[in-house]
Amino acid sequence: MPFRTGPKEKNSIPLEVFKKFFTSNIIQVIITETNRYGRDLVNKWKVDNPNKVQKVWSDVTEAEIDAFIAILLAAGVSHNNKQKSSVLWHTDGLPIFRAAMSFKRFRIITRFIRFDNGRTREFRLESDRAAPIRDIWNFLNDNLAKNYSPHENITIDEQLFPYRGKTKFTQYIPSKPAKYGREVGATREINQGENVMLQLSKAYTNSGRTIIADNYFTTLAGVKRLAQIGLAFVGAIRSNKRCIPDEMKRNPQRAVLSSCFGFHEDLVSICSYVPKKNKCVNLLSTVHYTKTCEGAAMKPEAILYYNANKAGVDCMDQMMSHFTTKRQTRRWTLAFFCNMINVAALAAFCMLC
């Protein structure tokens, strides 16, 4: 995860670097929508309970949101994120929690924090399943892109942030460590993986870099379109794609540790490797054009190259899960917000180191 680093970042205060990603526009959205939601609920309660002592909503401030995020980070770093919130404020606990804000205020913010305008949400949900979090998510992505300075290889991969609550879009992927999680996106589209890859790669047009991606993103058409904008490609591809020859599909008759190779229009090479009986791995590449196989497992050069550059997102997930800010919640938006804090904190850590 190569972020821009230099003397300024290495000598900066960690909060300043974190604020490069969690910028004031994100905080302002949270403040505005949290206060809007809080006032609406209090006003509704007043109408429903005219004879009771009237409640008053106290507006959330930027300093309180900063303190709220700091408490979540401190709980994650100290591995207290699974503790009941009230326990964190015990006198024998870490003093940082009691110093940041009262437990009552923390509980109020946790309950009322919002990230979009609830009055218009239903309309926006018709075209965007991530509408309740979309605005601040886009801001964070923009900030990550501004501070990202890639090397010659760029890995594109999806992240499944862990969440097992009931939603219409909870995903189950047994190969992922969390297995259950949320997939963020708008409505489904044809060749969604290919389109996402091209969209993310567009910023590096004619830079000569190599895009690395797994089979969710890889199509022959997508690889050719990358070549047209001056980008190379190495990535796995599913065996059920129409461009895969029958000889390269899974077959129990193929010898273990054997490989076969093919070429398309003098531009794209394909290799098919059999790591064990009745299984095969297929890759497309616009970098490798030889039949070289190396090591005791006789892996093709393209597969070795792919394996050496593909572990970045898995490493990121591992690091974030070890110090996660996520707390037990039934609200997927709050769980997603904690995941955003994890991403921003890890990016800040990479800039500081």
Q: Order of strands across the sheet with 180-182?
A: 161-162, 180-182, 170-172
Residue 105 has pLDDT above 70, yes or no: yes
3-state secondary structure of 106: helix
Q: At what angle do helices 24-48 and 62-77 cross, to 10 degrees?
A: 110
> Can you state the percent helix, strand and coil of the chain, rounding each to 5?
45, 15, 45
Do 55 and 300 touch, CB atoms closer than 8 A? no
- Residue 349 CA to residue 352 CA, distance in Å, equals 5
Residue with tokens 């939603």: 167
- Residue 274 CA to residue 280 CA, distance in Å, equals 4
pLDDT digits (tens, 9 = 90+) for 111-162: 999 999 999 999 999 888 889 999 999 999 999 989 988 889 999 988 777 6
CA–centroid distance for 56 within its chain: 38
Residue 203 has pLDDT above 80, yes or no: yes
Do 4 and 149 touch, CB atoms closer than 8 A? yes
In the prediction, which pLDDT does 341 show?
96
- Interacting residues of 48 by C-beta distance below 8 A, sequence separation 6+: none
Lowest mean pLDDT among 56-60, 63-67, 110-114, 193-197: 193-197
pLDDT digits (tens, 9 = 90+) for 10-53: 557 889 999 999 999 999 999 999 999 999 999 999 999 989 98
- Interacting residues of 195 by C-beta distance below 8 A, sequence separation 6+: 189
- Residue 284 CA to residue 223 CA, distance in Å, equals 8
First to last CA, the chain: 12
Do 156 and 331 touch, CB atoms closer than 8 A? no
DSSP 247: G
- How wide is the angle at C-alpha 297 spanned by C-alphas 291 and 299, nearest 5°? 30
Both structure tokens of 44: 């509704």
Closest to 264 (Cα-Cα) out of 239, 228, 289: 289
Is the Cα dihedral 134, 140, 143, 147 positive or negative? negative
- How wide is the angle at C-alpha 338 spanned by C-alphas 337 and 339, nearest 5°? 90
pTM of this prediction? 0.84
Closest to 117 (Cα-Cα) out of 35, 210, 6, 207: 35
pLDDT digits (tens, 9 = 90+) for 164-177: 666 655 555 555 55
Residue 74 has pLDDT above 90, yes or no: yes
- How wide is the angle at C-alpha 76 spanned by C-alphas 180 and 3, nearest 5°? 85
- Residue 104 CA to residue 98 CA, distance in Å, equals 11
- Residue 152 CA to residue 309 CA, distance in Å, equals 11
Across the range 309-334, mean pLDDT stands at 84
Do 280 and 271 touch, CB atoms closer than 8 A? no
